[in-house]
Amino acid sequence: MKLPGQTNFYKGKVRDVYTIEDKYMVMVVSDRISAFDVVLPRPIPYKGQVLNQIAAQFLDATKDIVPNWKISTPLPNTTIGYKCEPYAVEMVVRGNLTGHAWRTYKSGKRSLCGIEMPDGMKENDFFKQPILTPTTKAHVGHDEDISREEIISSGLVSEKEYTQLEKYTLALFERGREIAKSRGLILVDTKYEFGKIGDTIYLIDEIHTPDSSRYFYMDGYEERQKNDEPQKQLSKEFVREWLMENGFQGQEGQQVPEITDEIAGQISERYIELYEVVTGKTFMKNDMNFKEMETKITEALADIDVQQTA
C-alpha cells in the first residue's frame, strides 16, 4: 500500500506503520500474532480489528487526562494520529503481584526497578498502591527493567518530565481500573508509551488491550486467592499457554506448533470474547480488501488536511 504524502514505512511484528509528511502516522493493526518475541506463521482472523477498536475506545475515554496521538479510526483495524517523538522508556504499572513481578518475588528478591515489595505476599495479591516498574524500549530482543533513578541519571528522561509521566501513568491506570470494574474485571497490570510534540506530552500506541494488559475476572477473585487457586484471566496468556503445552517457548531449536483452521478459529473467538467483555459492545466483523482499505485511508487523510487548513 502506497499512501499520498508517505515519507516512511515500518513493518513491526503485528503492525504496519506509515508515516505521512513526517507529521502523521497511519497504524494498520494486522492479524499477525506474536508470542515469546516470535511472529507465529499464521494470522488470527479479526485480531487486528479487536485490538485497534479496544485501544481507540480507551484513548477516547482517557483524553481528558492526557492528550493522545489519535485523530481518527477510518477502519476498524486502522488508526490515524500525530507522529510524536517517543520516549525511550515504557511505563509499566502493576496493581497485583503477577507475572514478571511474581517471578522476581518468588526468586526471593524484594526489589523491582528500585521499588521495594513487602514480605508475606502471595501471587496475584493486590499491592497497597500500584507500583511503577518501567522498562527500556528495545527495538530488538527484550525490554530491560530500569529504575526511576537510572532513567533520570542516564538522561533518558529529565526528572521534570519523568515526574509528569508518573502522574499520567497512575491517573490512566486508575481510570482503566474504574472502567474494568464496571465490566466485572480487575485491570491487573499494563504498560503505557508516551511521546512529545514540541513541549507537549502525548499518550501514544495502544492502551488497555489484552495484548498490552492483564485482566482478572472480579467474580470469584477473593475465593480463588483464599484457596490458593489460579485467577481466571482475560489476556493473551491463553495463546502462550497453548504454545507451551505444545513444546514451544521461543527457544532456539524449538518448532512452532501447527496452527490448524480449528486452532486459529478458537484463538479468534477468544479475542472476540475479550473485546466484548472489555468494551461491553457486540463485535461486528469487518472484512475489507486491500484496495478498499487504501481508498478509505486516503480519504481520511484528505479529510485531516482539510480540517487542518480550515
Whether 73 and 107 share a structural domain:
no
Based on the fold, state whether residues 185 and 107 are members of the same structural domain: yes
CATH number at residue 229: 3.30.470.20
**Do 73 and 194 lie in a common domain?**
no
pLDDT digits (tens, 9 = 90+) for 161-178: 999 999 999 999 999 999
Closest CA to 116 of 86, 143, 148, 89: 148
Task: Tell the residue number behind the cell numbers 513444546, with chain if given.
Answer: 247
Q: Is residue 34 part of a domain?
A: yes
Phi, psi of 247 (to 5 degrees): 80, 25
Residue % of the chain over a pLDDT of 70: 96
Please indicate, yes or no, if residue 173 is contained in any of the structural domains.
yes
Report if residue 276 sits inside a domain.
Answer: no
CA–CA separation, 100 and 84 (whole Å): 29
Q: What pLDDT digit, counting tens, does each position of 182-209 carry?
A: 999 999 999 999 999 999 999 999 999 9
pLDDT tens digits, one per residue of 262-296: 999 999 998 999 899 999 999 999 988 888 999 99
Each residue's pLDDT tens digit, 246-264: 999 888 889 999 999 999 9
**Shared domain check, 126 and 29:** no
Q: Are 186 and 215 part of one and the same domain?
A: yes
Pair 188, 290 in one domain: no
Three-state secondary structure readout of 227-278: CCCCCCEECCHHHHHHHHHCCCCCCCCCCCCCCCHHHHHHHHHHHHHHHHHH
Average pLDDT over residues 40-58: 95
Range of the domain at 170: 87-233
Cα-Cα-Cα-Cα dihedral sign, residues 80, 81, 86, 92: negative
Is residue 124 located within the same domain as residue 98? yes
| Angle at CA of residue 291, ends 29 and 51, nearest 5° | 15
Distance CA 141, CA 144 (A): 9
Query: How long a stretch of residues is the chain?
Result: 310
The answer on 67 and 14 residing in a single domain is yes
Q: How many domains are contained in the chain? A: 2
Query: What pLDDT, on a 0 to 100 scale, did the predictor assign at position 310?
Result: 44
Q: Are residues 122 and 163 in the same domain?
A: yes
Phi first, then psi, for residue 33 (nearest 5°) are -135, 135
Domain co-membership, 99 together with 184: yes
**Same domain for 110 and 60:** no
Q: What is the mean pLDDT of the chain?
A: 93
Nearest alpha carbon to residue 29 among 85, 81, 84, 89: 81
For residue 98, being part of any structural domain is answered with yes
Please answer whether residues 169 and 193 qualify as being in contact, where contact means their C-beta atoms are separated by less than 8 angstroms. no
Q: Are 76 and 272 in contact (CB under 8 A)?
A: no
27 inside domain = yes
Beta-strand runs (E) in the chain: 6-11, 15-20, 24-29, 34-35, 38-39, 70-75, 78-82, 85-86, 89-96, 111-112, 115-116, 126-132, 135-136, 185-197, 200-204, 213-217, 233-234
Which residues, including other chains, have CB under 8 Å from residue 234's CB and lie 6 or more apart? 185, 210, 215, 216, 217, 274, 277, 278
Local confidence band at 305 (pLDDT 50, 70, 90 cut-offs):
low
In a domain, 246, yes or no: no
Contact 221, 101 (CB under 8 A): no
Report how far residue 93's alpha carbon sits from residue 130's, in angstroms, rounded to the nearest whole number.
7
Same structural domain, 218 and 292? no
pLDDT for 306 equals 57
Residue 243 lies in a domain: no
Residue 39 lies in a domain: yes
DSSP 125: P
User: Grid coordinates representing 137?
Assistant: 524500549
Q: Could you tell me if 279 and 53 are in contact, meaning their C-beta atoms sit under 8 angstroms apart?
A: yes
CATH number at residue 39: 3.30.200.20
- Phi, psi (5° rounding) for residue 309? -95, -5
